[in-house]
Amino acid sequence: MAVKRYDGSAWQTVAGLGAQGPAATSSTITTWVKTASGGETSLSGNDDNSQALSYTVGQELVFINGTLLKRGSDYTATNGTSITGLTALAANDVATVWTVNAFSVTNAIANTIVDAKGDLLVGTAADTPGRLGVGTDGQVLTAASTTGAGLAWSDTVTDATTTTAARGFGYMGIPQSSAATTGSYTIVAADAGEHIYSTATRTVTIPANSSVAFPVGTAITFIAATGATVTIAITTDTLLLAGPGTTGSRTLAPFGIATAIKITSTSWIISGNGLT
Protein backbone atom coordinates (compact mmCIF):
# COMPACT_ATOMS: atom_id res chain seq x y z
CA MET A 1 0.00 0.00 0.00
CA ALA A 2 1.16 3.54 -0.72
CA VAL A 3 -0.13 7.07 -0.08
CA LYS A 4 0.69 9.52 -2.85
CA ARG A 5 0.30 13.22 -3.60
CA TYR A 6 0.46 15.15 -6.87
CA ASP A 7 3.36 17.66 -7.02
CA GLY A 8 2.06 19.46 -10.10
CA SER A 9 3.69 17.17 -12.66
CA ALA A 10 3.62 13.65 -11.28
CA TRP A 11 2.35 11.53 -8.39
CA GLN A 12 4.93 11.11 -5.64
CA THR A 13 4.90 8.44 -2.93
CA VAL A 14 4.80 10.18 0.44
CA ALA A 15 4.17 7.07 2.58
CA GLY A 16 4.04 3.33 2.04
CA LEU A 17 6.06 0.99 -0.14
CA GLY A 18 4.75 2.07 -3.48
CA ALA A 19 4.02 -1.35 -4.96
CA GLN A 20 0.55 -1.86 -6.39
CA GLY A 21 -1.57 -4.95 -7.16
CA PRO A 22 -0.39 -8.49 -6.37
CA ALA A 23 3.20 -7.32 -5.81
CA ALA A 24 2.20 -4.99 -2.96
CA THR A 25 3.15 -5.77 0.62
CA SER A 26 0.19 -5.58 3.00
CA SER A 27 0.24 -2.51 5.27
CA THR A 28 -1.56 -0.93 8.20
CA ILE A 29 -2.14 2.77 8.90
CA THR A 30 -1.84 4.01 12.50
CA THR A 31 -3.44 7.36 13.33
CA TRP A 32 -2.25 9.69 16.11
CA VAL A 33 -4.45 12.77 16.83
CA LYS A 34 -3.61 15.63 19.25
CA THR A 35 -5.44 18.91 19.98
CA ALA A 36 -2.91 21.71 20.54
CA SER A 37 -3.01 23.94 23.59
CA GLY A 38 -1.13 26.60 21.62
CA GLY A 39 2.51 27.40 20.87
CA GLU A 40 3.74 23.84 20.24
CA THR A 41 6.48 23.44 17.60
CA SER A 42 6.85 19.69 18.11
CA LEU A 43 4.69 16.61 18.61
CA SER A 44 5.45 13.65 20.87
CA GLY A 45 4.04 11.54 23.68
CA ASN A 46 0.41 10.50 23.99
CA ASP A 47 -2.42 11.85 21.83
CA ASP A 48 -5.99 12.67 22.85
CA ASN A 49 -6.71 8.90 22.98
CA SER A 50 -3.68 8.09 25.17
CA GLN A 51 -1.85 6.53 22.24
CA ALA A 52 1.90 7.14 22.12
CA LEU A 53 3.35 8.68 18.98
CA SER A 54 5.27 6.06 17.02
CA TYR A 55 6.01 6.06 13.32
CA THR A 56 8.28 4.55 10.71
CA VAL A 57 10.72 7.21 9.51
CA GLY A 58 9.91 8.12 5.93
CA GLN A 59 6.49 6.46 6.10
CA GLU A 60 4.71 9.16 8.12
CA LEU A 61 2.14 11.77 7.05
CA VAL A 62 1.63 14.89 9.17
CA PHE A 63 -1.53 17.02 8.94
CA ILE A 64 -2.44 20.26 10.72
CA ASN A 65 -6.17 20.92 10.63
CA GLY A 66 -6.43 18.50 7.69
CA THR A 67 -3.66 20.11 5.62
CA LEU A 68 -0.83 17.73 4.64
CA LEU A 69 2.60 19.10 5.52
CA LYS A 70 5.72 18.51 3.43
CA ARG A 71 8.39 16.35 4.99
CA GLY A 72 11.72 18.13 5.35
CA SER A 73 10.21 21.58 4.72
CA ASP A 74 7.27 21.90 7.10
CA TYR A 75 8.55 19.45 9.71
CA THR A 76 11.35 17.07 10.63
CA ALA A 77 10.81 13.39 11.50
CA THR A 78 13.95 11.40 12.20
CA ASN A 79 13.58 9.32 15.35
CA GLY A 80 10.20 7.56 15.10
CA THR A 81 8.76 9.09 18.30
CA SER A 82 8.64 12.86 17.77
CA ILE A 83 7.89 15.44 15.06
CA THR A 84 9.87 18.72 15.25
CA GLY A 85 10.36 21.89 13.23
CA LEU A 86 6.69 22.85 13.11
CA THR A 87 5.39 26.40 12.82
CA ALA A 88 3.96 27.21 16.26
CA LEU A 89 0.47 25.80 16.61
CA ALA A 90 -2.52 27.80 17.71
CA ALA A 91 -4.81 26.66 20.48
CA ASN A 92 -7.26 23.98 19.31
CA ASP A 93 -5.29 23.23 16.17
CA VAL A 94 -5.60 19.51 15.43
CA ALA A 95 -2.38 17.69 14.61
CA THR A 96 -2.70 14.28 12.98
CA VAL A 97 0.10 11.84 12.22
CA TRP A 98 -0.45 8.83 10.01
CA THR A 99 2.16 6.14 9.75
CA VAL A 100 2.12 3.30 7.24
CA ASN A 101 3.61 0.12 8.66
CA ALA A 102 4.37 -2.77 6.33
CA PHE A 103 4.02 -6.32 7.52
CA SER A 104 4.45 -9.76 5.99
CA VAL A 105 1.47 -12.04 5.48
CA THR A 106 1.77 -15.04 7.80
CA ASN A 107 2.91 -18.20 5.98
CA ALA A 108 3.23 -16.41 2.64
CA ILE A 109 5.03 -18.51 0.06
CA ALA A 110 8.27 -16.76 -0.90
CA ASN A 111 8.80 -16.11 -4.60
CA THR A 112 12.35 -17.43 -4.19
CA ILE A 113 10.92 -20.95 -4.18
CA VAL A 114 10.66 -20.67 -7.98
CA ASP A 115 13.96 -20.86 -9.86
CA ALA A 116 13.01 -21.03 -13.54
CA LYS A 117 10.23 -20.58 -16.05
CA GLY A 118 7.87 -23.55 -15.89
CA ASP A 119 8.66 -24.53 -12.29
CA LEU A 120 5.64 -25.86 -10.42
CA LEU A 121 4.57 -25.26 -6.84
CA VAL A 122 3.76 -28.62 -5.23
CA GLY A 123 2.91 -29.95 -1.80
CA THR A 124 5.66 -32.18 -0.43
CA ALA A 125 3.82 -32.95 2.83
CA ALA A 126 0.95 -31.57 4.88
CA ASP A 127 1.18 -27.75 4.95
CA THR A 128 4.59 -27.93 3.22
CA PRO A 129 5.10 -26.28 -0.19
CA GLY A 130 7.91 -27.28 -2.50
CA ARG A 131 9.20 -26.87 -6.04
CA LEU A 132 9.09 -29.26 -8.97
CA GLY A 133 11.52 -28.16 -11.64
CA VAL A 134 10.28 -27.78 -15.18
CA GLY A 135 10.53 -30.86 -17.38
CA THR A 136 11.83 -31.01 -20.93
CA ASP A 137 9.81 -30.45 -24.10
CA GLY A 138 7.32 -33.23 -24.76
CA GLN A 139 7.34 -34.66 -21.24
CA VAL A 140 4.12 -35.24 -19.31
CA LEU A 141 3.41 -34.93 -15.60
CA THR A 142 2.58 -38.18 -13.82
CA ALA A 143 1.84 -39.22 -10.25
CA ALA A 144 4.92 -40.67 -8.54
CA SER A 145 4.35 -41.54 -4.90
CA THR A 146 8.00 -42.50 -4.34
CA THR A 147 9.26 -38.97 -5.10
CA GLY A 148 9.38 -36.14 -2.61
CA ALA A 149 6.93 -34.06 -4.65
CA GLY A 150 4.57 -36.94 -5.37
CA LEU A 151 4.88 -36.05 -9.06
CA ALA A 152 7.45 -36.62 -11.78
CA TRP A 153 8.08 -35.71 -15.39
CA SER A 154 7.88 -38.67 -17.78
CA ASP A 155 8.99 -39.05 -21.38
CA THR A 156 6.14 -41.40 -22.30
CA VAL A 157 2.70 -42.42 -21.13
CA THR A 158 2.40 -46.10 -20.23
CA ASP A 159 0.54 -47.99 -22.95
CA ALA A 160 -2.91 -49.28 -22.11
CA THR A 161 -3.08 -53.01 -21.37
CA THR A 162 -5.75 -55.46 -20.31
CA THR A 163 -4.97 -54.60 -16.68
CA THR A 164 -6.67 -51.21 -17.17
CA ALA A 165 -10.17 -50.31 -18.27
CA ALA A 166 -10.69 -50.03 -22.02
CA ARG A 167 -11.42 -46.32 -21.60
CA GLY A 168 -8.01 -45.72 -19.99
CA PHE A 169 -5.32 -43.56 -21.58
CA GLY A 170 -4.00 -45.65 -24.47
CA TYR A 171 -2.41 -45.20 -27.86
CA MET A 172 -2.91 -42.15 -30.06
CA GLY A 173 -2.58 -44.43 -33.09
CA ILE A 174 -2.97 -48.16 -33.77
CA PRO A 175 0.52 -49.64 -33.39
CA GLN A 176 1.42 -52.90 -35.03
CA SER A 177 1.48 -56.03 -32.91
CA SER A 178 4.87 -57.61 -32.32
CA ALA A 179 3.39 -60.94 -33.43
CA ALA A 180 4.85 -62.69 -36.47
CA THR A 181 3.16 -61.73 -39.75
CA THR A 182 2.98 -65.34 -41.00
CA GLY A 183 1.79 -68.63 -39.55
CA SER A 184 -1.25 -69.34 -37.41
CA TYR A 185 -1.53 -67.02 -34.43
CA THR A 186 -3.69 -66.76 -31.29
CA ILE A 187 -4.19 -63.25 -29.98
CA VAL A 188 -2.59 -62.38 -26.60
CA ALA A 189 -3.32 -59.66 -24.03
CA ALA A 190 -0.58 -57.38 -25.37
CA ASP A 191 -2.40 -57.16 -28.73
CA ALA A 192 -5.23 -55.06 -27.23
CA GLY A 193 -5.50 -51.73 -29.05
CA GLU A 194 -3.06 -52.83 -31.78
CA HIS A 195 -3.33 -54.12 -35.33
CA ILE A 196 -2.26 -57.58 -36.46
CA TYR A 197 -0.62 -57.53 -39.86
CA SER A 198 -0.59 -60.66 -42.02
CA THR A 199 1.71 -61.01 -45.04
CA ALA A 200 0.69 -64.59 -45.90
CA THR A 201 -2.49 -66.64 -45.80
CA ARG A 202 -3.14 -67.82 -42.26
CA THR A 203 -5.59 -68.12 -39.36
CA VAL A 204 -5.69 -65.61 -36.51
CA THR A 205 -7.73 -66.74 -33.50
CA ILE A 206 -9.49 -64.71 -30.81
CA PRO A 207 -9.15 -66.72 -27.57
CA ALA A 208 -12.00 -67.43 -25.16
CA ASN A 209 -12.61 -65.02 -22.33
CA SER A 210 -11.73 -67.81 -19.95
CA SER A 211 -8.26 -67.87 -21.50
CA VAL A 212 -7.58 -64.14 -22.00
CA ALA A 213 -10.03 -61.84 -20.24
CA PHE A 214 -9.90 -58.76 -22.47
CA PRO A 215 -12.01 -55.95 -20.93
CA VAL A 216 -15.23 -55.01 -22.66
CA GLY A 217 -14.41 -52.27 -25.17
CA THR A 218 -11.11 -53.80 -26.27
CA ALA A 219 -10.50 -53.19 -29.99
CA ILE A 220 -8.18 -55.21 -32.24
CA THR A 221 -7.62 -54.49 -35.93
CA PHE A 222 -6.68 -57.02 -38.63
CA ILE A 223 -4.90 -56.09 -41.87
CA ALA A 224 -4.19 -58.45 -44.79
CA ALA A 225 -1.31 -57.68 -47.15
CA THR A 226 -1.22 -58.44 -50.86
CA GLY A 227 -1.70 -62.15 -51.52
CA ALA A 228 -2.75 -62.85 -47.95
CA THR A 229 -6.16 -64.25 -47.06
CA VAL A 230 -6.78 -64.24 -43.31
CA THR A 231 -9.28 -66.36 -41.46
CA ILE A 232 -10.37 -64.59 -38.27
CA ALA A 233 -11.51 -67.37 -35.98
CA ILE A 234 -12.87 -67.51 -32.45
CA THR A 235 -12.86 -70.40 -29.97
CA THR A 236 -15.81 -70.84 -27.59
CA ASP A 237 -16.97 -67.20 -27.50
CA THR A 238 -19.14 -65.46 -30.12
CA LEU A 239 -17.96 -63.37 -33.09
CA LEU A 240 -20.78 -61.33 -34.69
CA LEU A 241 -20.58 -59.80 -38.17
CA ALA A 242 -21.75 -56.18 -38.07
CA GLY A 243 -24.92 -55.76 -40.12
CA PRO A 244 -26.47 -59.19 -40.51
CA GLY A 245 -25.40 -60.35 -37.05
CA THR A 246 -24.30 -63.80 -38.26
CA THR A 247 -21.77 -65.65 -36.16
CA GLY A 248 -18.66 -67.68 -36.73
CA SER A 249 -15.23 -67.24 -38.31
CA ARG A 250 -14.69 -64.52 -40.93
CA THR A 251 -12.47 -64.25 -44.00
CA LEU A 252 -10.42 -61.13 -44.72
CA ALA A 253 -9.35 -60.76 -48.36
CA PRO A 254 -5.97 -59.33 -49.50
CA PHE A 255 -5.74 -55.59 -48.78
CA GLY A 256 -8.68 -55.99 -46.42
CA ILE A 257 -8.95 -54.30 -43.01
CA ALA A 258 -11.33 -55.12 -40.17
CA THR A 259 -11.73 -54.25 -36.51
CA ALA A 260 -13.19 -56.45 -33.78
CA ILE A 261 -14.58 -54.88 -30.61
CA LYS A 262 -15.45 -56.82 -27.48
CA ILE A 263 -19.05 -55.98 -26.49
CA THR A 264 -19.71 -58.44 -23.65
CA SER A 265 -17.49 -60.74 -21.64
CA THR A 266 -17.93 -63.52 -24.24
CA SER A 267 -18.88 -61.75 -27.48
CA TRP A 268 -17.20 -59.61 -30.12
CA ILE A 269 -18.48 -57.72 -33.17
CA ILE A 270 -16.40 -57.22 -36.30
CA SER A 271 -16.68 -55.03 -39.40
CA GLY A 272 -14.45 -53.87 -42.21
CA ASN A 273 -13.63 -53.84 -45.91
CA GLY A 274 -12.86 -57.09 -47.69
CA LEU A 275 -14.53 -59.00 -44.89
CA THR A 276 -16.95 -61.87 -45.51
- Considering the domain architecture, whether residues 130 and 93 belong to the same structural domain is answered as no
* Structural domain contains residue 165: no
Backbone angles phi, psi at 189, to 5 degrees: -55, -35
This model's pTM is above 0.85:
no
* Structural domain contains residue 128: yes
- Considering the domain architecture, whether residues 97 and 126 belong to the same structural domain is answered as no
* CATH for 189: 2.60.120
- Considering the domain architecture, whether residues 15 and 62 belong to the same structural domain is answered as yes
Task: Please give the residue range of the domain that contains residue 145.
Answer: 111-154
Residue 273 has pLDDT above 80, yes or no: yes
pLDDT tens-digit readout, 4-37: 555 667 765 554 554 443 444 456 788 999 999 9
* Structural domain contains residue 207: yes
3-state secondary structure of 111: helix
Backbone angles phi, psi at 23, to 5 degrees: -80, -10
- Considering the domain architecture, whether residues 219 and 266 belong to the same structural domain is answered as yes
- Considering the domain architecture, whether residues 95 and 125 belong to the same structural domain is answered as no
- Considering the domain architecture, whether residues 142 and 234 belong to the same structural domain is answered as no
Task: Count structural domains, the chain.
Answer: 3
Q: How far apart are CA 149 and CA 129, in angstroms?
A: 9
* Structural domain contains residue 16: yes
Comparing 104-108, 136-140, 186-190, 243-247, the range with the smallest average pLDDT is 104-108
* Structural domain contains residue 136: yes
Q: How far apart are CA 175 and CA 155, in angstroms?
A: 18
- Considering the domain architecture, whether residues 6 and 24 belong to the same structural domain is answered as yes
* Structural domain contains residue 175: no
Q: How far apart are CA 275 and CA 253, in angstroms?
A: 6
What are the beta bridge partners of residue 197? 223
Residue of 232, 241, 234, 184 lying closest to 214 (CA atoms): 234
- Considering the domain architecture, whether residues 58 and 31 belong to the same structural domain is answered as yes
- Considering the domain architecture, whether residues 250 and 192 belong to the same structural domain is answered as yes
* Structural domain contains residue 117: yes
83, with CB counted inside 10 A (0-12, 13-18, 19+), is buried
Comparing 75-84, 86-95, 130-139, 237-246, the range with the smallest average pLDDT is 130-139
* Structural domain contains residue 21: yes
Contact (CB, 8 A) for 27 and 101: yes
Mean pLDDT over the full length of the chain: 86
Strand pairing report for 120-125 and 140-143: unpaired
What are the beta bridge partners of residue 250? 232
Residue 127 is given by DSSP the state T
Please report how many Cα atoms fall inside a 13 Å half-sphere around the Cα of residue 106, on the Cβ side. 0
- Considering the domain architecture, whether residues 125 and 192 belong to the same structural domain is answered as no
Q: How far apart are CA 267 and CA 276, in angstroms?
A: 18
